Structure 1
Amino acid sequence: MGNISGFFKNVVSEMRKVSWPKRKELTRYTIVVLATCIFMALFFTVVDAGISGLFRWFVAL
């Protein structure tokens, strides 16, 4: 049990050293991540539709 309590004391000690982002930074980072995810989803949707269209066109020949 001594190892577990020592582990959690070290975790608390390390968590105090962490530099947490401010609210404004966190909001900005969240918007960037969401915008990137949406852009990538749209991009891959368009690429998938294009490749599917090419395969359908090629098979129809």
Structure 2
Amino acid sequence: MAFLARMRQSFGSTFSFFTDSWTELKKVKWPSRKEMTTYTLVVIGTVAFVAIYFFVLDLGISELLRLVFK
């Protein structure tokens, strides 16, 4: 009987968790399509900039090492 009581309590707390999560999600202010497009472009631009930066840095270090070990 104790096992069944623990199972019932466990599933009850799980159900309570999902209910509370759904309630909190209803309070969220979701971004508009325009805001989401802007955020996405900023992220893509930042990732591209960082990728190019590290690519150039890697090329420079590789060339420097090639000259040192030649």
- Normalised to the residue count of structure 1, the TM-score between the two structures is 0.94
* CA RMSD, Structure 1 to Structure 2 (Å): 0.5
Quick one: percent identity of the two aligned structures? 45
Q: How far, CA to CA, are the matches of 1:3 and 1:43 in structure 2?
A: 49
Q: How far, CA to CA, are the matches of 2:12 and 2:68 in structure 1?
A: 68
Aligned pairs for 1:13-52 (under 5 A) are 13-52=23-62
- Normalised to the residue count of structure 2, the TM-score between the two structures is 0.83
C-alpha displacement at 1:51, in angstroms? 0.4
Aligned to 2:8: none
C-alpha displacement at 1:45, in angstroms? 0.2
Aligned to 2:7: none
Query: What SS class does the counterpart of residue 46 from structure 1 fall into?
Result: helix
Q: How far, CA to CA, are the matches of 1:41 and 1:25 in structure 2?
A: 24
- Return 5+ residue gaps in structure 2 as ranges: 1-10
Number of aligned residues: 60
C-alpha displacement at 1:19, in angstroms? 1.1
- Return 5+ residue gaps in structure 1 as ranges: none
Q: How far, CA to CA, are the matches of 1:26 and 1:39 in structure 2?
A: 20
Q: Which one has a bigger Cα radius of gyration? A: 2
